[in-house]
Structure 1
Amino acid sequence: MLEELQRLQAHIGVLKTRLAHYESENDALAEDKNAANEQHHTQIVQKNGIITKKQEEIETLTEQLAESRTQFQQLNNDATALADRYSRLEKSCTDLKNRFQEILAERNELRLMKEKLQNEQRQAQTNIQSLEKERERLLQKNEHAKAKVEAIIQRLSVLGTAQDHHAQEIQQLEHPADANEEV
């Protein structure tokens, strides 16, 4: 019996050791559980924060989508207006092109007229030059004739005849300014 008692005491000692071991394991597991619960609670709070942020982002994106749709509609309206303006500008461009071609045709006509007038001007200048030369020639001829008449008059005045008196009268008639100065 003593042996049994010793064996029971040994079993009780082993059981106490095991109990202490299980209690320490239980405490460690309880601490792990508490830590896991705290970590889980922290994760839940973080996830809730993330969910809240995502919901806010969804609301912001929804507002942006509504604004984008409004802008898209405005851009469609602007595109329609621009298309109308473009078609009007194209028509104006065609009109301007036609007008430009008309102006080019008028310019070509004016060039031809200018060339014709320049040719006529050259011919007129040539005629003027030939007329001026003819005038010079006639003036020289006139001067030459005048000189001959004056020489004849001088010869007659030198002769001193009765005809000389007539020559003086002729000379006075030819040069009335000289006669006025003598008087």
Structure 2
Amino acid sequence: MLEELQRLQAHVRVLKTRLAEFESENQTLSEAQLTSNQQHQAQIEQKNETINSKEEEIKSLTDQLSSSQTQLKQLNDDAITLADRYSRLEKSCTDLKNRFQEILAERNELRVVKEKLQNEQRHSNQEIQALKNERDRLLQKNEHAKAKVEAIIQRLSILGTAQDQHAQEIQQLAHPSDASEEA
């Protein structure tokens, strides 16, 4: 029994040692668990902050997306408006080109008419000049004839013959204005 008691005491000692080891290990594990819980709590808080920042980022990106969609809609509307304007401008440009071609054709026709009129004007000026020359020649011829008639009248009046009467009549015929003044 003594042996058993000693064995039991040895077992109790071993159990106490083990109990002390287990308590020490338990203490260490409790501290490790506490540290681990604190670390996990810190990680959870960090993850929550990350989640909050990501949610804010998502909200910001959602706002940006809606703003971008609004801008896209506005840009599409502007693009449609610009396309309409472009088509109208293109049509106007085509109309202007056609009108310009018509104007060029009219200008060319007017040039032809102008050249024709200038040629006619030159011919008319030449005819007028020829007519003036003819008139001057006829006036000179008339003056020459008048001078001859007056010379003949003077010769007849100088002759002093019975033909004076006829000479006066001829003179009256040559100068009817002089005759009306004498009357």
Cα offsets for 1:86-109 (capped at 9, x unmatched): 122212212221221122122112
Instruction: Give the superposition deviation at 1:151.
Output: 0.6
- Provide the aligned length of Structure 1 versus Structure 2: 140
Compute the RMSD of aligned alpha carbons. Answer: 2.8
- Deviation >4 Å, runs of 4+: 50-61
Residue in 2 aligned with 1:15?
A: none
* Partner Cα separation in structure 2 for residue 181 and residue 52 of structure 1: 134
Matches within 5 A, 1:56-75: 59=59, 62-75=62-75
* Partner Cα separation in structure 1 for residue 51 and residue 171 of structure 2: 137
Residue in 2 aligned with 1:143?
A: 143
Tell which deviates more after alignment, 56-65 or 115-124.
Answer: 56-65
Matches within 5 A, 1:1-183: 59=59, 62-183=62-183
Name stretches of at least 5 consecutive residues in structure 2 with no aligned partner. Answer: 1-44
TM-score normalized by the length of structure 2: 0.64
Cα offsets for 1:40-73 (capped at 9, x unmatched): xxxx8xx97x998886676455434322321210
Which amino acid is the alignment partner of residue 146 of structure 1?
K
SS of the equivalent of 1:162 reads coil
Which amino acid is the alignment partner of residue 80 of structure 1?
I
* Partner Cα separation in structure 1 for residue 56 and residue 175 of structure 2: 124
Q: RCO (CA 8 Å, sep 6+): is it higher in 1 or 2?
A: 2
Name stretches of at least 5 consecutive residues in structure 1 with no aligned partner. Answer: 1-43
Which amino acid is the alignment partner of residue 134 of structure 2?
E
Which amino acid is the alignment partner of residue 90 of structure 1?
E
* Partner Cα separation in structure 1 for residue 54 and residue 164 of structure 2: 142
- The percentage of counterpart residues that share the same residue type is 74
* Partner Cα separation in structure 2 for residue 89 and residue 62 of structure 1: 39
Which amino acid is the alignment partner of residue 144 of structure 1?
H
